[in-house]
Amino acid sequence: MDAEGGRMLGVARRMLRRSDLAEDAVQDSFVLIWRKAHQFDATRGQAKAWLYTILRNRCLTLLRSADRETALDPSQRETASEEAMLDIAYNRLERANDLRVCLETLEPEKRMAILSSYILGYSHGEIAGRMGAPLGTVKAWVRRGLLVLRECLG
């Protein structure tokens, strides 16, 4: 199960792009998990999903917090490597995975917008900046993409 901690670190690093912050996020998440464990309801959710939700929320808070400064500014990050990260993630989804099957049906820009938000923690505005598209368009991509996914995933 060391893998789970390592995986959590990997998720955090993908979002935060800095190993020190990723470690902080994992540490904070464990504190939150410890504190909130009494609220975890096994009948309502899977432990793993709960764990990753806490971690991702913590990463998002770090990403969106005002003091992140330039270290986390998306404009400072390398676009190419981010696209590569999304590709890697997408390709690692097993071919038979329902999410993969459904993502495949999306137009590339909608797929990219959705993956950028979940995997890289991008906001609508950051996706727009990265993809060079108007904010309204990006919001529409996401919404339509999500609609297709929901219908596809049932």
Partner 1 sequence: MTDQSERSLRERLDEVVLGLACEAEVAQIEALCARDPSIARQLERSRLRFLALDETADVEAVPAGLWARISSALDAVDDGASPRTDAQDSPADQSAQILPLRPKPSVRHWRLGALGGLAASLLLAIALGWSLLGTPQPTVVAVLLDSDGQPVALVEGAPDNTTLITMLEAARVPQDRVMQVWTKPDDLGVPVSLGLLAAARSRSLSVSGLPRPRADQLYEITFEPLGGSPTNLPTGPILAKGFAKAPIR
Binder of partner 1 out of 76, 81, 97, 105 (CB under 8 A): 97
We find the least distance from the C-beta atom of residue 99 to partner 1, in angstroms, to be: 5
Considering only residues 43 through 82, tell me which ones interact with partner 1, judged by CB under 8 A: 44-49, 51-54, 56-58, 60-61, 65, 67
Side-chain-side CA neighbours of 145 within 13 Å: the count stands at 21
List the one residue out of 48, 77, 79, 47 whose CA is nearest residue 63.
77
The backbone torsions φ and ψ at residue 123, rounded to the nearest 5 degrees and listed phi first, read -85, 170
Considering only residues 12 through 31, tell me which ones interact with partner 1, judged by CB under 8 A: 13-14, 19, 22-24, 26-28, 30-31
We find the least distance from the C-beta atom of residue 132 to partner 1, in angstroms, to be: 19
Size of the site for partner 1 (CB under 8 A): 73
Query: Does 153 help bind partner 1 (rule: CB under 8 A)?
Result: yes
We find the least distance from the C-beta atom of residue 30 to partner 1, in angstroms, to be: 5
Query: Does 37 help bind partner 1 (rule: CB under 8 A)?
Result: yes
Nearer to partner 1, 77 or 124 (CB): 124
Binder of partner 1 out of 16, 72, 106, 119 (CB under 8 A): 119
Binder of partner 1 out of 18, 83, 93, 137 (CB under 8 A): 93
Query: Does 135 help bind partner 1 (rule: CB under 8 A)?
Result: no
For 18, the token pair is: 């800095």
CB 59, CB 16: distance < 8 Å? yes
Binder of partner 1 out of 71, 84, 88, 135 (CB under 8 A): 88
